[in-house]
Structure 1
Amino acid sequence: MKIVVTGYPGLLSSDLVPILTTAGHEVLPLTIADLDITQKEAVFSAIQRLKPHVLINCAGYTAVDQAEGEWEETFRVNTLGVHHLALACRRAGTVLCQISTDYVFDGRLGRPYQPWDAPNPLNVYGASKLAAERIIEGLLDRYYIVRTSSLYGKHGKNFVRTILDRAEQGRPLSIVCDQVMSPTWSVNLSQGILRLIESEMFGLYHLTDATEGGISWFEFGRTILKTAGLERKILPLNHCDLDRPAPRPIYSVLDIRYCTLVTGYRPLPFQEALKRFLT
């Protein structure tokens, strides 16, 4: 297949592109200089010219706290940009694969979220991503929406890299202990996306590392240090102790079983994924 990947190079796309290429696909990675998805005519022109079978959108505004004060810019990139992509894909007959987030949920369910559970975002970032999902569902018959969570990898800023950097610099570590999520290694996610787009089982999916019931950020931080062979004290904090503009869900673990049922792909357990990332 000919596959266009937007938002290159980024945390996800930098791993996704070589994985798709190794699988034998013709991959066209596009930087923001190649394609700014907020520009409608540029999007339509690029998709008509390239005529990909699949477009995987890794472009997005991901500064969750900053988004609270930048509603217009957040929705311009995360919602309007996706609206442009969806319309262009519909015209060209291209399948759209959109990367979404656990932050479409409010965290009050008390169990891992399944794809069909009702969303209720608490912050601007989550609202912008949910709006994009709804636009795709309304405009397209052939699409994949892949919700993921707490992404980390060797490219770009992420929690694992931040914890390791602070520990190696001898800086104090304070981590939230009462918010539970599913960590996701970018390679795990990329392999799952590959299996999804090859399945042609269109729809909405959850895809993270395999995590039984999730893990708190505090416990994940401890696991990172232990796996890296670093001994540092971590101060546990309640989420209410942090003065962050954007509210987060207390429990946003994603249930990935349906994605596994459809694709046969079983992501690595988070402990093994972390170990492979660090070696």
Structure 2
Amino acid sequence: MLLVTGVNGQLGFDIIKELRKRSIECLGISRGDLDITDKNAVCEYISKLNPECVIHCAAYTAVDKAEDEREICYKVNVDGTENIAKACKNIDSKMIYISTDYVFNGKSDTILDVDGYKDPLSVYGKTKYQGELKVQALLSKYFIVRTSWVFGINGSNFVKTMLKLGKQRESLNVVCDQIGSPTYTVDLASLLCDMAISERYGIYHATNEGFCSWAEFATEIMEKANLDCIINPIPTSEYQSKAIRPLNSKLSKKSLGKSSFSLLPKWQDALERYLIELEG
């Protein structure tokens, strides 16, 4: 039995779909089923269910809002993760913790290794990194998986926003100096399921292959969706947001190869398949 938290989110939704496709017994839960910030409730729930692995996707992910809601963000991303990790420890269960490129400051031009210097710039990034530390301190049977620029069928994301605006406007200003990798939840879910049934524990970076800027990503979306909207590249300095985003989110996938996990397909290929899924 595998337990997946955050089942109503983009990633949790596709993990449950993938597990069912593989005929692996699983349960997906949301905030309504279990408050992960309630230590006793988490301990009791997980102890009773006794899963072999908990894939922890539930998180506070409103990056800008987190700057104002620090306590709530901390409670969910740090305390909630610690509660899950403690419950896993009690029953000797594996845990997969989904983390983010935001644990890095993104100020260097290099491709970021899993053990690279952590210096999160936002409240969201800081809480996700603290969540990582809780998992590492409590467990030995863990996977920490950092990903970026996620898009999936269930929920809002950059691709859906671009498609909507691309039908309404002739042109859009999109940031061109933040570089990273888009990640299709269908592809990431498959990898996470492979991890869950393995014992190749450790810290991993998992995104679709290839790098681009948000502006390049947006341009590709317009082209593949046959929309005439023109993308105007602008620097981050011209785009106002509460939380500071890392400029460099190029994550190294070396650790996946070392542990014989498959790399995800190229992001352009993933986008093509996602657009087909949206049409269906």
Q: What's the TM-score once normalised by structure 1's chain length?
A: 0.96
Partner of 1:169: 168
State the SS of the aligned residue for 2:208: coil
Contact 2:203 2:255 in 1 (8 A): no
Q: What letter matches 2:207 in structure 1?
A: T
Q: Deviation of residue 200 (structure 1)? A: 1.0
Distance 1:269 1:219 in 2: 14
Partner of 1:178: 177
Deviations 1:47-88 (A, max 9, x none): 011000000111100010111111101100000000111111
Is 1:44 the counterpart of 2:33? The answer is: no
Distance 2:171 2:91 in 1: 52
Determine which of 201, 218, 222 is the counterpart of 1:221. Answer: 218
Count of paired positions = 276
Q: Percent identity?
A: 38
Partner of 1:189: 188
Q: Could you say what the CA RMSD is over the residues aligned between the two structures, in angstroms?
A: 1.1
Contact 1:195 1:263 in 2 (8 A): no
Distance 1:43 1:262 in 2: 31
Partner of 2:81: 82
Determine which of 251, 257, 260 is the counterpart of 1:260. Answer: 257
Contact 2:167 2:229 in 1 (8 A): no
Q: What letter matches 2:21 in structure 1?
A: T
Structure 2 matches for 1:266-277, cutoff 5 A? 266-277=263-274
Q: Deviation of residue 169 (structure 1)? A: 2.4
Q: What letter matches 2:31 in structure 1?
A: I
Structure 2 matches for 1:1-279, cutoff 5 A? 2-170=1-169, 172-211=171-210, 214-279=211-276
Distance 2:161 2:238 in 1: 20
Q: What letter matches 2:62 in structure 1?
A: A
C-alpha spacing 1:21/1:144, structure 2 compared with 1 (3 Å): same
Q: What letter matches 2:128 in structure 1?
A: K
Deviations 1:83-117 (A, max 9, x none): 11111110111111100000000112312111111
C-alpha spacing 1:144/1:264, structure 2 compared with 1 (3 Å): closer
Unaligned runs of 5+ residues in structure 1 are none
Distance 2:23 2:174 in 1: 41
Contact 1:152 1:160 in 2 (8 A): yes
Contact 2:170 2:228 in 1 (8 A): no
State the SS of the aligned residue for 1:174: strand
State the SS of the aligned residue for 1:117: coil
Q: Deviation of residue 182 (structure 1)? A: 0.9
Distance 2:260 2:195 in 1: 6
